[in-house]
Amino acid sequence: MAMQRPDIVFLVLDTQRSDRLSCYGYPRETSPHLDALAADATLFSNAISAAQWTVPSHASMFTGLYPSTHQVLQSYSVLPDHMSTLAERLSAGGYFTAGFCNNPLVGVINNGLRRGFYSFLNYSGLLTSRPNQAGVPSGLLDRYRQSFKRVLAGMLDQVQNSFARSEALLAFSLTPLMVPIWQTALSFKGNTRKSLDDAAKLLIDRPGLEDQPVFTFINLMGTHMPYHPPRHYVERFAPHVLLDKAAQHYLRHFNGDVYGWLAPLAGALDDHQKATLDGMYDAEVACQDEQVGVFFDRLKTSGKLDRTLIIVCSDHGEHLGEKQFIGHSISLYNELVQVPLMIRDPQENFVKGETRDDVVSTRRLFHTVLTAAGLANEIEETLTLAQSPGSHPDYEQVFAEAIPPQNVVNLLQKRQPEVVYTHACDQPRRAVWVGNHKLIETGGNRLELYDFSNDPGENLNLTDIFPENVEFLQECLQLFTSQTTTPFSVDRAPGFDDPEVRRRLRDLGYLED
């Protein structure tokens, strides 16, 4: 007898670095609850986000396409109508689709990422929004209240959309007057505890959904700046901040300097500043991990966990001073694009306790979910991550793209034009992973080649040492760029079966005889 289609939880830990989780080898115990989940799941050690920031990364996970194909590249971008989202596909296939989102760029801005959700709860912004909620008001007064809330929500959504699309309003939102307002009164980071509680109630209580599978998308913002973890987490991970007035001053300045989250640093952080950021980030990771643990414990206690496909990932990581970068606006270094990914599967298509080191793109989560739901077509099924690495072609490529957010570039050009030039902030970046090598191409002329297996910190640029590898990987990027208008581009370049191409791959060490 065929197993009933599973519930699906798609949990995105916004801005979570993989190298700050204990299950990825971090020496500090930041993530005991995620560690426990990983031990009962398949953990991907080389998962690559398709983009370096929220909007294009989520669009890739929701469509299965790379950014230059779906073209949702800016805060003002809108997903084209002809591109179906994951929620639309699942909804059409019989799933109840619900979103619990703490990031206003996904839950508030009208960019098409909410398409297909029957229920979508937003926990940040000017008003917690509840579009597509079921329920009929019982009386005339209730109808007036609901109508008023819809009108008010519509007006506030327009205001928030305007801030996302207007350079002048964005600049105004970064002023010292506005920062405290939107960080606190507007609940910038949302409400992690409430969103997880609401999601658990839906999955466990299932009002009116006893026989219908549920797809639950959750976005948490706990590890996003600014850093205000509870005191007992600061005591564990950054105790010096409680005693050192210089550290407290630096943290206050950092938390309030939103422009500083976007701009490259003029110089390297000193040891005390780096320790402060590292410790406070780790404290936020641990705080969020505890709340995620409560969520999974509730599912386990209720018996729902073993009937639910669990996907935990990140949309991107975070720079904390590495290579003079802060935040996640510009680069394609590992701190941003090498993200955590673990999948726990009740149907056992993913091996419990396995660690996979093949390089995979998070855009393939689209294909993975559709396949698990029994809704993937033949092409999509070939890209599910449930396929073992040995079943893939010998030669694969994974790509990532960093198209600079234009409103950020405009601000940088006005305030620090020299930084824009020095760090190529206005130039697109693309990266390709083949074998153990990763090539980053910036603006078509800046090249960086790294051995990501042996040099995860990307400290040694190998471009002058392996010029033939650089040339070949550039050709891969050029072919990728020319083909990203193809709706179902795959993770390998056409022509890899050509004898000459295979000879080059063997000569470069990417294929074994």
Q: pLDDT value at position 424?
A: 92
Q: Which has the minimum average pLDDT: 45-59, 128-142, 288-302, 413-427?
A: 128-142
Q: What pLDDT digit, counting tens, does each position of 12-62 carry?
A: 999 999 999 999 999 999 999 999 999 999 999 999 999 999 999 999 999
Q: What percent of the chain has pLDDT over 70?
A: 83
Cβ distance 113 to 148 under 8 Å?
A: no
Check pLDDT > 50 for residue 132: no
**For helices 245-256 and 271-302, what crossing angle results, to 10°?**
70
Band of residue 148 on the pLDDT scale cut at 50, 70, 90: very low
Structural domains of the chain sorted by starting position, each given as residue range(s) with its CATH number in brackets: 7-507 (3.40.720.10)
Band of residue 159 on the pLDDT scale cut at 50, 70, 90: low
Q: What pLDDT digit, counting tens, does each position of 249-300 carry?
A: 999 999 988 888 888 998 899 999 999 999 999 999 999 999 999 999 999 9
Band of residue 134 on the pLDDT scale cut at 50, 70, 90: very low
**66-78 average pLDDT score:** 92
**437-453 average pLDDT score:** 95
Q: pLDDT value at position 145?
A: 39
Band of residue 101 on the pLDDT scale cut at 50, 70, 90: very high
Check pLDDT > 60 for residue 165: no
Q: What pLDDT digit, counting tens, does each position of 201-240 carry?
A: 999 999 888 889 999 999 999 999 999 999 999 999 999 9
Q: pLDDT value at position 154?
A: 55
Q: Provide Rg for the chain, Cα atoms.
A: 23
**381-401 average pLDDT score:** 79
Q: What pLDDT digit, counting tens, does each position of 481-504 carry?
A: 887 755 444 444 445 566 777 777
Check pLDDT > 60 for residue 140: no
Q: pLDDT value at position 365?
A: 98
Q: pLDDT value at position 322?
A: 96
Check pLDDT > 70 for residue 172: no
Q: pLDDT value at position 498?
A: 67
- Backbone phi, then psi, for 344, in 5-degree steps? -110, 125
Token digits for 106? 């996904």
- Taking CA atoms, 177 is separated from 104, 157, 163, 180, 254, in Å, by 20, 22, 15, 7, 15
Whole-angstrom Cα distance, residue 342 to residue 373? Answer: 18
Whole-angstrom Cα distance, residue 155 to residue 400? Answer: 36
**92-104 average pLDDT score:** 95
In the numeric block, the tokens 């971008």 are attached to 77
Tally of CA atoms within 13 A in the half-sphere of 161 that contains its CB: 13
- Backbone phi, then psi, for 213, in 5-degree steps? -70, 150
Check pLDDT > 70 for residue 244: yes
Q: pLDDT value at position 503?
A: 78
Indicate the pTM of the whole model: 0.89
Q: pLDDT value at position 494?
A: 47
Query: What is the overall mean pLDDT for the chain?
Result: 86
Q: Where are the beta strands (DSSP E) in 358-508?
A: 360-361, 398-402, 429-434, 437-442, 446-451
